[in-house]
């Protein structure tokens, strides 16, 4: 947590704060008690209206894990970066191989009224993984909700291809507090689709989908048109597809390492 965040939160008697030790301790003997205490605190803080992040309250929960990888509390997704909590999500890369054997990729464009990163470009599908949700099931849910994918197509052809882990520092594009620390782990899935496949917006989050070739993707990346974590997922896709290689990228090893950071605290 940032020191500047501490005085903005409406702490209750269920917390012990030691400013000298720079620690915040949540009391409660069971996860149910801790969940209730944390929710009470966050709702009171939201009502005070002093933190922009909480205006985007989603009623979605992220798990916070202990050293044994067992959840110790669940936190509202909108508040996770305020506490520096590891967030979890899924991304789906949908791509086509054209008649010349070249890759084309389905890019989503965010709507202009999105709270975070309005109008920027995304991977084909991306979304947060809620507490207790299986990553693959989350990918299926997000893909049907955002892009009208057929569930059977996803269950048959989508492939798990790893994770991307990173540490994001929020900026003005995030729509909330600036400078909060947001570590994240994203489960990645690829799906090769046919030339006649067409994703379609199914909710308010996506304005449209565009089929882009590799050069167009590179230009958009260089112009900073992609949402930050989506750019990382796309670079990971380039590496796995042999578009970025040790032969054409002098910083290849550093790029690969930065896409797979080792979190310095317990995670799933």
227-258 confidence digits (pLDDT tens): 999 999 999 999 999 999 999 999 999 999 99
Of 182 and 256, the structure prediction assigns the larger pLDDT to: 256
- pLDDT value, residue 132: 87
Residue 218 has pLDDT above 90, yes or no: yes
- pLDDT value, residue 231: 97
163-174 confidence digits (pLDDT tens): 999 988 888 887
54-88 confidence digits (pLDDT tens): 998 989 899 999 988 899 999 999 999 999 989 99
Residue 264 has pLDDT above 90, yes or no: no
Of 36 and 113, the structure prediction assigns the larger pLDDT to: 36
Q: What is the mean pLDDT of the chain?
A: 94
Predicted structure pTM score: 0.91
First-to-final CA distance of the chain: 20
Q: What percent of the chain has pLDDT over 70?
A: 100
Domain parsing of the chain, residue ranges: 6-80, 87-258
Q: Which of 71, 107, 108 is nearest to 86 (CA)?
A: 71
Residue 116 has pLDDT above 90, yes or no: no
Of 116 and 6, the structure prediction assigns the larger pLDDT to: 6
* Whole-number Å distance between alpha carbons of 44 and 8: 11
SS3 for 119-168 is CCEECCEEEECCCCCCHHHHHHHHHHHHHCCCHHHHHHHCEEEEEEEEEE
**87-258 in CATH: which number?**
3.90.79.10
Mean pLDDT calculated for residue range 120-125: 97
Count other C-beta atoms under 10 Å from residue 15's C-beta: 14
């Amino acid at each position: 947590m940032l020191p500047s965040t501490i005085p903005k939160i409406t702490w209750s008697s269920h917390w012990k704060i030691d400013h000298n030790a720079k620690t915040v301790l949540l009391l409660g003997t069971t996860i149910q008690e801790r969940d209730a205490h944390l929710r009470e605190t966050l709702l009171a803080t939201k009502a005070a209206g002093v933190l922009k992040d909480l205006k985007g309250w989603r009623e979605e929960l992220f798990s916070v894990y202990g050293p044994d990888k067992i959840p110790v509390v669940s936190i509202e997704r909108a508040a996770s970066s305020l506490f520096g909590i590891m967030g979890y999500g899924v991304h789906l890369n949908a791509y086509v191989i054209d008649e010349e054997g070249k890759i084309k990729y389905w890019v989503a464009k965010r709507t202009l009224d999105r709270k975070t990163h309005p109008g920027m470009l995304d991977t084909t599908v991306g979304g947060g993984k809620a507490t207790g949700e299986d990553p693959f099931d989350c990918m299926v849910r997000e893909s049907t909700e955002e892009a009208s994918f057929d569930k059977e197509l996803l269950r048959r052809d989508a492939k798990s291809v790893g994770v991307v882990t990173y540490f994001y520092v929020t900026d003005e594009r995030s729509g909330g507090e600036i400078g909060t620390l947001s570590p994240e782990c994203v489960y990645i899935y690829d799906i090769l689709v046919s030339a006649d496949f067409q994703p379609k917006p199914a909710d308010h989050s996506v304005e449209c989908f565009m089929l882009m070739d590799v050069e167009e993707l590179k230009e958009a990346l260089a112009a900073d048109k992609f949402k930050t974590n989506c750019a990382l997922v796309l670079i990971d896709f380039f590496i796995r597809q042999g578009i970025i290689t040790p032969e054409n990228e002098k910083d290849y090893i550093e790029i690969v390492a930065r896409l797979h950071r080792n979190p310095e605290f317990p995670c799933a």
